[in-house]
Amino acid sequence: MFFLQDPPPDTSGYMIAGYIIAFFVMGIYVASLIIRWRNLNQDQQLLEELETERHKK
């Protein structure tokens, strides 16, 4: 009786939206980690330079 069964509804739009949103949110988070890491590294370098200058004086 399989041939009498209704085909599943077309809900692919929701599926695509779901996966796009999931990847978008994950991407934003990973990008935020990379940006914060870079900024902190720059801060660290700058502060270390300042400290060495202070020690020289």
- The residues binding another protein (CB under 8 A) are 5, 8-12, 14-15, 17-19, 21-22, 25-26, 29-30, 33, 36-37, 40-41, 43-45, 47-48, 50-51, 54
Please tell me what DSSP assigns to residue 5: S
Unique residue bearing structure tokens 């990379």: 34
Q: How far is the CB of 51 from another protein (least distance, A)?
A: 6
Task: In angstroms, give the least distance from the CB of 1 to another protein.
Answer: 13
Q: Which two tokens stand for residue 13?
A: 């739009």
CA dist., res. 31 & res. 5, Å (int): 46
What is the number of other CB atoms lying within 10 angstroms of the CB of residue 25? 10
- In the bound state with another protein, the residue whose beta carbon lies nearer, of 1 and 8, is 8
